[in-house]
Amino acid sequence: MKDVIVKKSKIEGSGVFANKDFKKGEVVLKWDTSKQLSTKEVEKVPEDEKKYVSFVNNKYTLMRPPERYVNHSCNANTNVGDFCDVAKRDIKKGEEITGDYSQDTTPDFEMKCTCGSKNCKGIIKKE
């Protein structure tokens, strides 16, 4: 049985959902880091794929499924760890997994936020 499943999200498009209960501090998703990109390669990534490029530990990674389907929320339930998503609080089976893109997006990326949480910043960009 998988720890997470991908299905339609209320936030946007596809989302990643917990398929079991996670405890705070537990690794929810380990990223597939087989697609690491050089600065030159990042420039060639098509516009609609750019939101899937993460910048962590000074490395660009083209996110693979399912982790690329983790939607952003300004009130996310995971933090970015060492190429993984870590539960920020207890997460119940069936909850959508959300991440804070401002932690791992590329320095020049900006996106409008429609997460709808009370503390929504309205715009997603590198902090």
| Contact positions vs Zn ion (CB under 5 A) | 74, 113, 115, 120
Give one word for 16, left, alpha or beta, with left for phi > 0 and alpha for psi -120 to 50.
beta
CB 70 to Zn ion: min, Å: 14
CB 48 to Zn ion: min, Å: 20
Give one word for 116, left, alpha or beta, with left for phi > 0 and alpha for psi -120 to 50.
left
Three-class SS state of 116 = coil
124 contacts 59 by C-beta, under 8 angstroms: no
Q: Which is nearer to Zn ion, 56 or 120 (CB)?
A: 120
CA distance 118 to 13: 21
Q: Which is nearer to Zn ion, 20 or 88 (CB)?
A: 88
Q: Which is nearer to Zn ion, 37 or 98 (CB)?
A: 98
Q: Which is nearer to Zn ion, 45 or 120 (CB)?
A: 120
CB 10 to Zn ion: min, Å: 14
CB 72 to Zn ion: min, Å: 7
Residues in the chain: 127
